[in-house]
Amino acid sequence: MAGRPHTHLAFRLSGSLAGMDVVHAVVAAGHPVVRSVIDFACREAGVTVLAKVETASAAIEACRSRRPELLVLDLELPDADGFRVLSELDDVDRPEAVLVLSDHAEGDLVLRALRLGARGYVTKAEGLRDLASTITRVLAGERVIAPGMEQDAVLALGRFARRAREGAEVAAHLTSREQQVLELLSDGHTMRQIATRLGISPRTVETHVAKVYRKLGVRTRVQAVSRAATLGLVEL
Amino acid sequence: MSGSSVNETKATRAIRRLGVVVVDPFPVVREGLASTIEVNPGLEVLAQASSAEEAIAVVGGVRRSRVVVLVAMGLAGDKDSYWLIRTLRERFPGYTILGLGANADPHVVSRALFVGADGFVDKNIELDEFLAAIKSAGNEEMVIAGPAAASVGKIAEGIERRRSVGLRLTRREREVLAVAAEGLTAREIAERLGVRERTVTTHLARIYGKLGVGNRLAALRMAARSGLVSIGPAE
Protein backbone atom coordinates (compact mmCIF):
# COMPACT_ATOMS: atom_id res chain seq x y z
CA MET A 1 0.00 0.00 0.00
CA ALA A 2 2.08 2.88 -1.29
CA GLY A 3 1.07 6.50 -0.76
CA ARG A 4 -1.90 7.69 1.22
CA PRO A 5 -4.39 4.99 2.09
CA HIS A 6 -7.69 5.34 0.31
CA THR A 7 -10.51 6.29 2.67
CA HIS A 8 -12.67 3.38 1.69
CA LEU A 9 -9.82 0.99 2.28
CA ALA A 10 -9.06 2.54 5.66
CA PHE A 11 -12.69 2.04 6.63
CA ARG A 12 -12.66 -1.53 5.46
CA LEU A 13 -9.60 -2.26 7.52
CA SER A 14 -10.88 -0.78 10.76
CA GLY A 15 -11.24 -3.52 13.34
CA SER A 16 -8.93 -5.65 11.27
CA LEU A 17 -5.33 -6.50 11.90
CA ALA A 18 -4.65 -7.15 8.23
CA GLY A 19 -2.54 -4.04 7.79
CA MET A 20 -0.09 -4.90 10.55
CA ASP A 21 3.41 -6.09 9.71
CA VAL A 22 3.61 -8.83 12.29
CA VAL A 23 0.78 -10.25 14.36
CA HIS A 24 1.66 -11.78 17.72
CA ALA A 25 -0.31 -14.57 19.29
CA VAL A 26 -0.68 -16.43 22.55
CA VAL A 27 -1.83 -20.02 22.21
CA ALA A 28 -3.64 -21.68 25.11
CA ALA A 29 -4.66 -25.33 24.90
CA GLY A 30 -4.78 -28.14 27.40
CA HIS A 31 -3.59 -30.94 25.15
CA PRO A 32 -0.02 -30.84 23.73
CA VAL A 33 -1.18 -32.10 20.33
CA VAL A 34 -3.84 -29.40 20.05
CA ARG A 35 -1.24 -26.84 21.11
CA SER A 36 1.13 -27.84 18.35
CA VAL A 37 -1.64 -27.95 15.74
CA ILE A 38 -2.57 -24.37 16.67
CA ASP A 39 1.08 -23.36 16.74
CA PHE A 40 1.58 -24.79 13.27
CA ALA A 41 -1.55 -23.07 11.91
CA CYS A 42 -0.40 -19.73 13.34
CA ARG A 43 2.95 -20.04 11.58
CA GLU A 44 1.18 -20.98 8.37
CA ALA A 45 -0.95 -17.82 8.71
CA GLY A 46 2.20 -15.76 9.23
CA VAL A 47 1.56 -15.13 12.92
CA THR A 48 4.40 -15.03 15.44
CA VAL A 49 3.59 -17.16 18.48
CA LEU A 50 4.83 -15.44 21.64
CA ALA A 51 3.80 -18.11 24.10
CA LYS A 52 2.21 -21.54 24.16
CA VAL A 53 0.55 -22.23 27.48
CA GLU A 54 -1.37 -25.09 29.03
CA THR A 55 -3.51 -23.48 31.73
CA ALA A 56 -6.01 -20.66 32.11
CA SER A 57 -3.87 -18.88 34.68
CA ALA A 58 -0.83 -19.03 32.41
CA ALA A 59 -2.95 -17.70 29.53
CA ILE A 60 -4.11 -14.72 31.62
CA GLU A 61 -0.55 -14.02 32.68
CA ALA A 62 0.76 -14.30 29.10
CA CYS A 63 -1.89 -11.92 27.74
CA ARG A 64 -1.12 -9.38 30.46
CA SER A 65 2.63 -9.48 30.07
CA ARG A 66 3.01 -10.06 26.34
CA ARG A 67 0.02 -8.11 24.97
CA PRO A 68 -0.60 -10.24 21.86
CA GLU A 69 -3.01 -9.10 19.15
CA LEU A 70 -4.38 -12.63 18.83
CA LEU A 71 -5.38 -15.23 21.40
CA VAL A 72 -6.21 -18.72 20.23
CA LEU A 73 -7.99 -20.26 23.17
CA ASP A 74 -9.04 -23.83 23.88
CA LEU A 75 -12.07 -23.83 26.19
CA GLU A 76 -11.03 -27.14 27.73
CA LEU A 77 -8.12 -26.21 29.98
CA PRO A 78 -7.03 -28.29 32.98
CA ASP A 79 -7.34 -25.64 35.70
CA ALA A 80 -10.43 -23.68 34.59
CA ASP A 81 -12.56 -23.25 31.50
CA GLY A 82 -11.37 -20.86 28.85
CA PHE A 83 -14.17 -18.42 29.65
CA ARG A 84 -12.28 -17.60 32.85
CA VAL A 85 -9.43 -16.26 30.74
CA LEU A 86 -11.73 -13.94 28.81
CA SER A 87 -13.72 -12.75 31.82
CA GLU A 88 -10.64 -12.04 33.92
CA LEU A 89 -8.86 -10.01 31.30
CA ASP A 90 -10.02 -6.41 31.16
CA ASP A 91 -10.54 -4.56 27.90
CA VAL A 92 -6.96 -3.35 27.83
CA ASP A 93 -5.37 -6.75 28.30
CA ARG A 94 -7.80 -8.74 26.20
CA PRO A 95 -6.30 -9.34 22.74
CA GLU A 96 -8.17 -7.64 19.94
CA ALA A 97 -8.81 -10.91 18.13
CA VAL A 98 -9.88 -13.99 20.06
CA LEU A 99 -10.46 -17.34 18.40
CA VAL A 100 -12.10 -19.99 20.58
CA LEU A 101 -11.73 -23.74 20.08
CA SER A 102 -13.87 -26.28 21.85
CA ASP A 103 -15.01 -29.89 21.86
CA HIS A 104 -18.55 -28.57 22.26
CA ALA A 105 -20.78 -26.50 20.03
CA GLU A 106 -23.89 -25.84 22.13
CA GLY A 107 -25.54 -22.50 21.49
CA ASP A 108 -25.13 -21.38 25.10
CA LEU A 109 -21.37 -21.84 24.87
CA VAL A 110 -21.09 -20.02 21.56
CA LEU A 111 -23.23 -17.18 22.90
CA ARG A 112 -21.09 -16.93 26.02
CA ALA A 113 -17.91 -16.79 23.96
CA LEU A 114 -19.38 -14.06 21.76
CA ARG A 115 -20.47 -12.11 24.84
CA LEU A 116 -16.93 -12.25 26.12
CA GLY A 117 -15.64 -10.77 22.90
CA ALA A 118 -14.61 -13.84 20.89
CA ARG A 119 -14.48 -13.22 17.15
CA GLY A 120 -14.36 -16.82 16.08
CA TYR A 121 -15.60 -20.14 17.45
CA VAL A 122 -14.72 -23.48 15.90
CA THR A 123 -14.94 -27.03 17.17
CA LYS A 124 -11.82 -29.11 17.44
CA ALA A 125 -13.52 -31.86 15.45
CA GLU A 126 -14.29 -29.63 12.47
CA GLY A 127 -12.13 -26.56 12.77
CA LEU A 128 -8.59 -27.82 13.22
CA ARG A 129 -8.15 -28.82 9.59
CA ASP A 130 -8.42 -25.34 8.08
CA LEU A 131 -7.34 -23.46 11.19
CA ALA A 132 -4.75 -21.36 9.35
CA SER A 133 -7.35 -19.84 7.03
CA THR A 134 -9.73 -19.33 9.98
CA ILE A 135 -6.97 -17.42 11.77
CA THR A 136 -6.38 -15.28 8.68
CA ARG A 137 -10.09 -14.47 8.43
CA VAL A 138 -10.37 -13.63 12.12
CA LEU A 139 -7.36 -11.33 11.83
CA ALA A 140 -9.05 -9.60 8.90
CA GLY A 141 -11.90 -8.67 11.24
CA GLU A 142 -14.30 -11.36 10.11
CA ARG A 143 -16.51 -13.30 12.49
CA VAL A 144 -15.97 -16.99 11.91
CA ILE A 145 -18.69 -19.23 13.28
CA ALA A 146 -20.26 -22.19 11.51
CA PRO A 147 -23.79 -21.29 10.28
CA GLY A 148 -25.53 -23.97 12.36
CA MET A 149 -23.68 -22.85 15.46
CA GLU A 150 -24.59 -19.25 14.79
CA GLN A 151 -28.29 -20.11 14.67
CA ASP A 152 -27.89 -22.09 17.91
CA ALA A 153 -26.35 -19.00 19.48
CA VAL A 154 -29.36 -16.96 18.38
CA LEU A 155 -31.69 -19.55 19.92
CA ALA A 156 -29.64 -19.36 23.12
CA LEU A 157 -30.01 -15.58 22.97
CA GLY A 158 -33.80 -16.01 22.81
CA ARG A 159 -33.82 -18.24 25.90
CA PHE A 160 -31.48 -15.86 27.66
CA ALA A 161 -33.70 -12.86 26.88
CA ARG A 162 -36.80 -14.66 28.12
CA ARG A 163 -35.19 -15.73 31.38
CA ALA A 164 -33.80 -12.25 31.93
CA ARG A 165 -37.22 -10.73 31.39
CA GLU A 166 -38.98 -13.18 33.68
CA GLY A 167 -36.31 -12.75 36.33
CA ALA A 168 -36.58 -8.97 36.24
CA GLU A 169 -40.37 -9.19 36.40
CA VAL A 170 -40.35 -11.41 39.47
CA ALA A 171 -37.62 -9.31 41.06
CA ALA A 172 -39.68 -6.19 40.57
CA HIS A 173 -42.44 -7.75 42.64
CA LEU A 174 -40.22 -8.93 45.48
CA THR A 175 -39.73 -6.55 48.38
CA SER A 176 -36.19 -6.07 49.68
CA ARG A 177 -37.09 -8.23 52.68
CA GLU A 178 -38.41 -11.03 50.49
CA GLN A 179 -35.26 -10.87 48.39
CA GLN A 180 -33.18 -11.23 51.58
CA VAL A 181 -35.28 -14.19 52.72
CA LEU A 182 -34.89 -15.82 49.30
CA GLU A 183 -31.12 -15.45 49.42
CA LEU A 184 -30.93 -16.95 52.90
CA LEU A 185 -33.22 -19.82 51.83
CA SER A 186 -30.90 -20.50 48.91
CA ASP A 187 -27.93 -20.57 51.24
CA GLY A 188 -29.64 -23.42 53.07
CA HIS A 189 -30.66 -21.65 56.26
CA THR A 190 -33.66 -22.89 58.24
CA MET A 191 -36.64 -20.66 58.96
CA ARG A 192 -35.41 -20.28 62.53
CA GLN A 193 -31.92 -19.29 61.43
CA ILE A 194 -33.36 -16.77 58.99
CA ALA A 195 -35.50 -15.31 61.77
CA THR A 196 -32.47 -14.92 64.04
CA ARG A 197 -30.36 -13.51 61.23
CA LEU A 198 -32.93 -10.88 60.32
CA GLY A 199 -34.08 -10.22 63.89
CA ILE A 200 -37.72 -11.05 63.14
CA SER A 201 -40.06 -13.78 64.38
CA PRO A 202 -40.15 -17.22 62.70
CA ARG A 203 -43.82 -16.55 62.03
CA THR A 204 -42.97 -13.46 60.02
CA VAL A 205 -40.34 -15.41 58.10
CA GLU A 206 -42.98 -17.99 57.20
CA THR A 207 -45.21 -15.24 55.86
CA HIS A 208 -42.35 -13.87 53.76
CA VAL A 209 -41.51 -17.35 52.47
CA ALA A 210 -45.13 -17.99 51.50
CA LYS A 211 -45.20 -14.73 49.55
CA VAL A 212 -41.91 -15.53 47.83
CA TYR A 213 -43.24 -18.96 46.80
CA ARG A 214 -46.39 -17.43 45.41
CA LYS A 215 -44.48 -14.83 43.41
CA LEU A 216 -42.17 -17.47 42.02
CA GLY A 217 -45.09 -19.78 41.30
CA VAL A 218 -43.62 -22.67 43.31
CA ARG A 219 -44.63 -24.81 46.28
CA THR A 220 -41.44 -26.13 47.83
CA ARG A 221 -38.12 -24.75 48.90
CA VAL A 222 -36.20 -26.79 46.34
CA GLN A 223 -38.44 -25.53 43.57
CA ALA A 224 -38.06 -21.98 44.85
CA VAL A 225 -34.28 -22.15 44.92
CA SER A 226 -34.02 -23.76 41.51
CA ARG A 227 -36.46 -21.33 39.95
CA ALA A 228 -34.73 -18.35 41.56
CA ALA A 229 -31.37 -19.60 40.26
CA THR A 230 -32.75 -20.08 36.74
CA LEU A 231 -34.11 -16.56 36.77
CA GLY A 232 -30.83 -15.22 38.09
CA LEU A 233 -32.39 -13.96 41.33
CA VAL A 234 -29.84 -15.81 43.46
CA GLU A 235 -26.46 -17.30 42.75
CA LEU A 236 -25.88 -20.86 43.82
CA MET B 1 -52.42 -30.30 -5.90
CA SER B 2 -53.88 -33.15 -7.93
CA GLY B 3 -57.02 -34.77 -6.60
CA SER B 4 -58.38 -31.78 -4.71
CA SER B 5 -60.71 -29.22 -6.16
CA VAL B 6 -59.59 -25.64 -6.62
CA ASN B 7 -61.97 -24.41 -3.93
CA GLU B 8 -60.68 -26.82 -1.33
CA THR B 9 -57.11 -25.82 -2.03
CA LYS B 10 -57.97 -22.17 -1.61
CA ALA B 11 -59.73 -22.83 1.67
CA THR B 12 -56.82 -24.84 3.04
CA ARG B 13 -54.39 -22.12 2.06
CA ALA B 14 -56.47 -19.42 3.68
CA ILE B 15 -56.39 -21.29 6.97
CA ARG B 16 -52.70 -22.03 6.81
CA ARG B 17 -51.63 -18.50 5.98
CA LEU B 18 -49.77 -16.83 8.78
CA GLY B 19 -51.51 -13.68 10.04
CA VAL B 20 -49.40 -10.54 10.30
CA VAL B 21 -50.16 -7.20 11.94
CA VAL B 22 -47.96 -4.32 10.77
CA VAL B 23 -47.26 -1.44 13.15
CA ASP B 24 -45.28 1.47 11.77
CA PRO B 25 -45.78 5.21 12.30
CA PHE B 26 -44.96 6.10 8.70
CA PRO B 27 -47.85 5.49 6.28
CA VAL B 28 -45.67 4.94 3.22
CA VAL B 29 -43.47 2.42 4.99
CA ARG B 30 -46.45 0.67 6.57
CA GLU B 31 -48.38 0.38 3.32
CA GLY B 32 -45.24 -0.75 1.53
CA LEU B 33 -44.56 -3.44 4.11
CA ALA B 34 -48.17 -4.56 4.10
CA SER B 35 -48.39 -4.96 0.33
CA THR B 36 -45.01 -6.69 0.22
CA ILE B 37 -46.12 -9.18 2.85
CA GLU B 38 -49.57 -9.62 1.34
CA VAL B 39 -48.12 -10.72 -2.02
CA ASN B 40 -46.49 -13.71 -0.36
CA PRO B 41 -48.84 -16.71 -0.54
CA GLY B 42 -47.98 -17.91 2.98
CA LEU B 43 -48.69 -14.62 4.68
CA GLU B 44 -51.73 -12.48 5.21
CA VAL B 45 -51.88 -8.95 6.60
CA LEU B 46 -54.68 -8.91 9.16
CA ALA B 47 -54.39 -5.29 10.21
CA GLN B 48 -52.19 -2.22 10.28
CA ALA B 49 -51.62 0.39 12.96
CA SER B 50 -49.70 3.63 13.16
CA SER B 51 -49.54 4.06 16.95
CA ALA B 52 -49.13 1.86 20.01
CA GLU B 53 -52.70 2.37 21.17
CA GLU B 54 -54.12 1.63 17.76
CA ALA B 55 -51.93 -1.49 17.63
CA ILE B 56 -53.32 -2.79 20.93
CA ALA B 57 -56.84 -2.25 19.66
CA VAL B 58 -56.37 -3.96 16.30
CA VAL B 59 -54.43 -6.89 17.72
CA GLY B 60 -57.25 -7.34 20.24
CA GLY B 61 -59.70 -7.64 17.35
CA VAL B 62 -57.76 -10.37 15.58
CA ARG B 63 -59.18 -13.89 15.69
CA ARG B 64 -56.30 -16.19 14.92
CA SER B 65 -54.19 -18.66 16.82
CA ARG B 66 -50.93 -17.79 15.06
CA VAL B 67 -50.19 -14.13 14.65
CA VAL B 68 -46.96 -12.21 14.10
CA VAL B 69 -47.02 -8.57 15.18
CA LEU B 70 -44.36 -6.56 13.42
CA VAL B 71 -43.49 -3.55 15.58
CA ALA B 72 -41.35 -0.82 14.00
CA MET B 73 -39.00 0.69 16.58
CA GLY B 74 -39.86 4.23 15.45
CA LEU B 75 -42.89 4.79 17.69
CA ALA B 76 -42.10 7.76 19.92
CA GLY B 77 -43.57 9.41 22.98
CA ASP B 78 -44.84 7.91 26.23
CA LYS B 79 -46.19 4.87 24.48
CA ASP B 80 -43.19 4.06 22.36
CA SER B 81 -42.24 0.83 20.63
CA TYR B 82 -40.82 -0.67 23.84
CA TRP B 83 -44.01 0.10 25.73
CA LEU B 84 -46.00 -1.51 22.95
CA ILE B 85 -43.87 -4.67 22.91
CA ARG B 86 -44.12 -4.99 26.68
CA THR B 87 -47.89 -4.46 26.64
CA LEU B 88 -48.48 -6.87 23.74
CA ARG B 89 -46.37 -9.48 25.53
CA GLU B 90 -48.53 -9.15 28.66
CA ARG B 91 -51.89 -9.10 26.93
CA PHE B 92 -51.27 -11.53 24.08
CA PRO B 93 -48.69 -13.99 25.39
CA GLY B 94 -49.36 -16.48 22.57
CA TYR B 95 -48.61 -14.11 19.72
CA THR B 96 -45.20 -13.63 18.18
CA ILE B 97 -43.75 -10.14 18.44
CA LEU B 98 -41.01 -9.07 16.04
CA GLY B 99 -39.11 -5.83 16.46
CA LEU B 100 -38.52 -4.07 13.16
CA GLY B 101 -35.56 -1.73 12.83
CA ALA B 102 -33.60 0.21 10.27
CA ASN B 103 -29.90 -0.56 10.72
CA ALA B 104 -30.72 -1.02 14.38
CA ASP B 105 -28.03 -0.70 16.98
CA PRO B 106 -27.45 -3.75 19.26
CA HIS B 107 -28.77 -1.64 22.19
CA VAL B 108 -32.11 -1.26 20.47
CA VAL B 109 -32.27 -4.98 19.75
CA SER B 110 -31.38 -6.04 23.27
CA ARG B 111 -33.91 -3.65 24.76
CA ALA B 112 -36.62 -4.90 22.39
CA LEU B 113 -35.86 -8.52 23.27
CA PHE B 114 -35.70 -7.74 26.96
CA VAL B 115 -39.12 -6.11 27.03
CA GLY B 116 -40.67 -9.06 25.21
CA ALA B 117 -39.90 -9.29 21.50
CA ASP B 118 -39.44 -12.83 20.17
CA GLY B 119 -37.01 -11.69 17.53
CA PHE B 120 -35.80 -8.79 15.47
CA VAL B 121 -35.72 -8.09 11.75
CA ASP B 122 -34.23 -5.17 9.94
CA LYS B 123 -35.53 -3.27 6.95
CA ASN B 124 -31.99 -3.37 5.63
CA ILE B 125 -32.13 -6.95 4.30
CA GLU B 126 -33.17 -8.66 1.09
CA LEU B 127 -36.88 -9.12 0.60
CA ASP B 128 -36.86 -12.91 0.59
CA GLU B 129 -34.81 -12.93 3.80
CA PHE B 130 -37.30 -10.53 5.35
CA LEU B 131 -40.28 -12.74 4.47
CA ALA B 132 -38.43 -15.88 5.55
CA ALA B 133 -37.71 -14.23 8.92
CA ILE B 134 -41.40 -13.49 9.46
CA LYS B 135 -42.30 -17.10 8.66
CA SER B 136 -39.61 -18.52 10.93
CA ALA B 137 -40.80 -16.26 13.73
CA GLY B 138 -44.33 -17.51 13.12
CA ASN B 139 -43.00 -21.03 13.65
CA GLU B 140 -41.76 -19.92 17.05
CA GLU B 141 -38.16 -19.80 16.00
CA MET B 142 -35.92 -17.12 17.39
CA VAL B 143 -34.90 -14.77 14.60
CA ILE B 144 -32.31 -12.04 14.38
CA ALA B 145 -32.15 -10.86 10.78
CA GLY B 146 -30.15 -7.95 9.45
CA PRO B 147 -27.01 -6.08 10.51
CA ALA B 148 -27.67 -6.84 14.20
CA ALA B 149 -27.22 -10.56 13.51
CA ALA B 150 -23.47 -9.92 13.59
CA SER B 151 -23.75 -8.58 17.14
CA VAL B 152 -25.36 -11.47 18.99
CA GLY B 153 -22.75 -11.25 21.75
CA LYS B 154 -23.28 -7.52 22.25
CA ILE B 155 -27.04 -7.96 22.28
CA ALA B 156 -26.71 -10.58 25.01
CA GLU B 157 -24.44 -8.25 26.99
CA GLY B 158 -27.06 -5.51 26.71
CA ILE B 159 -29.72 -7.86 28.02
CA GLU B 160 -27.48 -8.89 30.89
CA ARG B 161 -26.93 -5.25 31.84
CA ARG B 162 -30.66 -4.59 31.86
CA ARG B 163 -31.25 -7.71 33.87
CA SER B 164 -28.66 -6.95 36.50
CA VAL B 165 -29.91 -3.43 37.11
CA GLY B 166 -33.51 -4.64 36.93
CA LEU B 167 -32.88 -7.32 39.52
CA ARG B 168 -31.42 -4.91 41.99
CA LEU B 169 -34.27 -2.42 42.11
CA THR B 170 -37.76 -2.94 43.49
CA ARG B 171 -40.75 -1.75 41.54
CA ARG B 172 -41.18 1.27 43.80
CA GLU B 173 -37.55 2.21 43.37
CA ARG B 174 -37.94 1.99 39.61
CA GLU B 175 -40.98 4.25 39.78
CA VAL B 176 -39.03 6.79 41.81
CA LEU B 177 -36.18 6.62 39.32
CA ALA B 178 -38.51 7.02 36.35
CA VAL B 179 -40.00 10.18 37.85
CA ALA B 180 -36.55 11.41 38.86
CA ALA B 181 -35.57 11.09 35.21
CA GLU B 182 -37.91 13.99 34.46
CA GLY B 183 -35.58 16.20 36.44
CA LEU B 184 -37.91 16.81 39.39
CA THR B 185 -36.78 17.65 42.93
CA ALA B 186 -37.32 15.18 45.74
CA ARG B 187 -40.27 17.26 46.90
CA GLU B 188 -41.85 17.21 43.44
CA ILE B 189 -41.27 13.48 43.12
CA ALA B 190 -42.96 13.00 46.50
CA GLU B 191 -45.98 15.04 45.38
CA ARG B 192 -46.25 13.10 42.17
CA LEU B 193 -46.15 9.72 43.90
CA GLY B 194 -48.22 10.81 46.87
CA VAL B 195 -45.57 10.03 49.47
CA ARG B 196 -43.47 12.05 51.89
CA GLU B 197 -40.32 13.80 50.71
CA ARG B 198 -38.33 11.86 53.29
CA THR B 199 -39.52 8.58 51.75
CA VAL B 200 -38.30 9.70 48.35
CA THR B 201 -34.84 10.62 49.62
CA THR B 202 -34.63 7.26 51.38
CA HIS B 203 -35.57 5.50 48.14
CA LEU B 204 -33.03 7.51 46.18
CA ALA B 205 -30.26 6.77 48.70
CA ARG B 206 -31.07 3.07 48.52
CA ILE B 207 -31.09 3.17 44.70
CA TYR B 208 -27.66 4.85 44.66
CA GLY B 209 -26.37 2.21 47.04
CA LYS B 210 -27.72 -0.65 44.95
CA LEU B 211 -26.37 0.72 41.71
CA GLY B 212 -23.07 1.62 43.33
CA VAL B 213 -23.22 5.26 42.30
CA GLY B 214 -22.82 8.51 44.20
CA ASN B 215 -25.48 10.76 42.75
CA ARG B 216 -28.66 11.05 40.82
CA LEU B 217 -27.08 11.78 37.46
CA ALA B 218 -24.93 8.65 37.61
CA ALA B 219 -27.93 6.58 38.68
CA LEU B 220 -30.01 7.94 35.81
CA ARG B 221 -27.26 7.35 33.33
CA MET B 222 -27.01 3.74 34.45
CA ALA B 223 -30.76 3.25 34.46
CA ALA B 224 -31.05 4.79 31.01
CA ARG B 225 -28.37 2.52 29.64
CA SER B 226 -30.25 -0.43 31.08
CA GLY B 227 -33.50 0.75 29.57
CA LEU B 228 -35.23 1.19 32.93
CA VAL B 229 -35.95 4.82 32.27
CA SER B 230 -36.06 6.88 29.11
CA ILE B 231 -34.12 10.11 28.92
CA GLY B 232 -34.47 12.33 25.91
CA PRO B 233 -35.74 11.19 22.52
CA ALA B 234 -36.53 7.55 21.78
CA GLU B 235 -33.64 5.39 20.61
pLDDT in tens, B129-164: 999 999 999 998 899 998 888 889 999 988 888 887
Question: Structural domains in chain B?
Answer: 6-156 (3.40.50.2300), 169-225 (1.10.10.10)
Q: Show the low-confidence residues of chain B (pLDDT under 70).
A: 1-15, 226-235
Task: List the single residue in A with minimal CA-CA distance to B143.
Answer: A154
Chain A from 201 to 230: CB within 8 A of any B CB = none
Provide the CATH topology of domain A163-230: Arc Repressor Mutant, subunit A (1.10.10)
B155 chain-A contacts, CB cut-off 8 A: 157
Q: What's the predicted TM-score (pTM) here?
A: 0.76
Count of CA atoms in the C-beta half-sphere (13 A) of B16 = 9
Q: Which CA distances in Å does A30 have to A40, A52, A61, A93, A131?
A: 16, 10, 16, 21, 17
Closest-CA residue to B23 (of B43, B52, B46, B45): B52
B166 chain-A contacts, CB cut-off 8 A: 164, 167-168, 171-172
Q: Where in chain A is the domain with CATH 3.40.50.2300?
A: 7-153
Kindly determine whether residue B115 and residue A165, on different chains, have CB atoms separated by under 8 Å. yes
Q: How far is B9 from chain A (nearest CA, A)?
A: 34
Compute the count of residue pairs across chains A and B with CB atoms less than 8 Å apart.
77
Kindly determine whether residue B115 and residue A114, on different chains, have CB atoms separated by under 8 Å. no
CB of B59 less than 8 A from some CB of A = no
Residue range A3-34, pLDDT digits in tens: 333 333 333 344 566 556 789 999 999 999 99
Q: What percent of chain B is predicted at pLDDT more than 70?
A: 89
Provide the CATH topology of domain A7-153: Rossmann fold (3.40.50)
Closest-CA residue to A70 (of A143, A139, A166, A140): A139
Kindly determine whether residue B152 and residue A116, on different chains, have CB atoms separated by under 8 Å. no
B110, B152, B160 member nearest A114 (Cβ): B152
What is the reported pLDDT for B231? 55
Q: Where in chain A is the domain with CATH 1.10.10.10?
A: 163-230
What is the reported pLDDT for B4? 44
